[in-house]
Amino acid sequence: MSSYLITGIAGFIGSALARELVQRGEQVRGIDNFATGKRENIAEILSHIEFREKDMLDLEAMKQACAGVDYVLHQAAIPSVPKSVLDPIGSNRANVDGTVNLLVAARDAKVKRVIYAASSSAYGDTPTLRKHERMMPDPISPYAVAKLAGEHYMISFYRCYGLETVALRYFNVFGPRQDPSSPYSGVLAKFITLMLKGQQPTIFGDGEQSRDFTYVDNAVEANLLACKAPTALAVGKVFNIATGRRVTLNETFKLLQQLTSYAGAPIYGPARAGDIKHSLADISLAEKHLGYKPKVSFEEGLRRTVEWYRSSGNF
């Protein structure tokens, strides 16, 4: 049995990781400040985990959280492009300062490895598709810059202090429990819940922008593989974690019409500041070095997600 610290455990990715680890009989500690996480996401596993309501900016609390831990899965973040455009200082504080605090604490506690939730936004709007890890990053939004800075800190802490770190560049992760309620929520959580209510979603721009949407179970699997992958193959490196297929928002809307039985049309609004047009990953590096394979397809993930919102009444 290994022990894991999950930052952002009450978020939808953090709580999915926690459920999987609990199911595997691992020891789980989690922190969250409920900036974006929700208590109900961890309610059913609360008796199986050690939960601490803490902020990443509290270095002493981070040191205590890292004590005695084998692996740190760092998911805590303020994850929104438009929110970061409105509040770059807040984005930097949570996503960069919080990450550096955690790294210092993990280094001092001599944890075995830190896995970091990086973002595909690091690639920016570069026309090359598929995006591969050898490409020069070109972040646009403050959020993308902050997430990329976190990656560089991961690599720096490996190079300077020998702390083992792996950065996973998530491509638009979606799934059950993703918060649909904020104007900054991920597009699929918003669209699914609106359409289940019979309300019209708004597509920003012409809807021809595309994303490599990644079902949350695939991201969970990638984290667990990254913990155990051989040092020489994984550590100090950055990996794309995605499905390896892109769909446009217009195509996605049509699929969701079938799944939610919503018959209306979308509203088309102005394109969003800081948005990027197309995103599609080359996942061969993660396949080769981590043994990663996206087990759940986009359509299957969408079906499971709609089913979860419908059956849990969370819309």
Closest contact distance (angstroms) between CB of 82 and ligand UD2 is: 7
The smaller minimum CB distance to ligand UD2, of residues 29 and 131, is found at: 131
Using alpha carbons, list the distances in angstroms from residue 40 to 37, 49, 180, 209, 312. 9, 14, 14, 33, 12
Return the range that interacts with ligand UD2 (CB under 6 A); candidates 33-41, 98-106, 118-126, 233-241.
Answer: 118-126
Residue 139 contacts ligand UD2 per CB under 6 A: no
Answer for which of 187, 220, 247, 256 binds ligand UD2 (CB under 6 A) is 187
The smaller minimum CB distance to ligand UD2, of residues 81 and 302, is found at: 81
Residue 276 contacts ligand UD2 per CB under 6 A: yes
Name the E strands within the chain. Answer: 3-7, 27-32, 50-53, 71-74, 113-119, 165-170, 173-174, 202-204, 210-211, 214-215, 237-241, 247-248, 267-269
Answer for which of 249, 281, 283, 302 binds ligand UD2 (CB under 6 A) is 249
Residues taking part in catalysis: 143
The smaller minimum CB distance to ligand UD2, of residues 33 and 36, is found at: 36
Q: How far is CA 252 from the centre of its chain?
A: 20
Return the range that interacts with ligand UD2 (CB under 6 A); candidates 155-163, 166-174, 233-241, 281-289.
Answer: 166-174
Closest contact distance (angstroms) between CB of 11 and ligand UD2 is: 11
Q: Distance (Å, rounded) from C-alpha 100 to C-alpha 313?
A: 38
Q: Which of residues 28-87 bind ligand UD2 (CB under 6 A)?
A: 79-81
Answer for which of 95, 120, 240, 243 binds ligand UD2 (CB under 6 A) is 120
The smaller minimum CB distance to ligand UD2, of residues 171 and 262, is found at: 171
Closest contact distance (angstroms) between CB of 213 and ligand UD2 is: 9
The enclosing H or E element of 188 equals helix 187-196
Q: Rg of the Cα trace of the chain? A: 18
Closest contact distance (angstroms) between CB of 107 and ligand UD2 is: 25
Q: Distance (Å, rounded) from C-alpha 96 to C-alpha 277?
A: 25
8 contacts 75 by C-beta, under 8 angstroms? yes
Q: Distance (Å, rounded) from C-alpha 260 to C-alpha 303?
A: 9
* 100 burial level (CB within 10 Å; 0-12, 13-18, 19+): middle
The smaller minimum CB distance to ligand UD2, of residues 51 and 315, is found at: 315
Q: What is the CB-side half-sphere exposure of residue 314 using CA atoms within 13 A?
A: 20
Residue 119 contacts ligand UD2 per CB under 6 A: yes
The smaller minimum CB distance to ligand UD2, of residues 75 and 209, is found at: 209
Answer for which of 33, 95, 101, 121 binds ligand UD2 (CB under 6 A) is 121
Closest contact distance (angstroms) between CB of 118 and ligand UD2 is: 8
Q: Distance (Å, rounded) from C-alpha 114 to C-alpha 98?
A: 14
72 contacts 114 by C-beta, under 8 angstroms? yes
Q: Distance (Å, rounded) from C-alpha 280 to C-alpha 300?
A: 18
Q: Distance (Å, rounded) from C-alpha 301 to C-alpha 216?
A: 8
Residue 130 contacts ligand UD2 per CB under 6 A: no
> Which residues of the shown chain bind ligand UD2 in the complex (CB under 6 A)?
79-81, 119-121, 170-172, 186-187, 190, 202-204, 209, 211, 249, 272, 275-276, 279
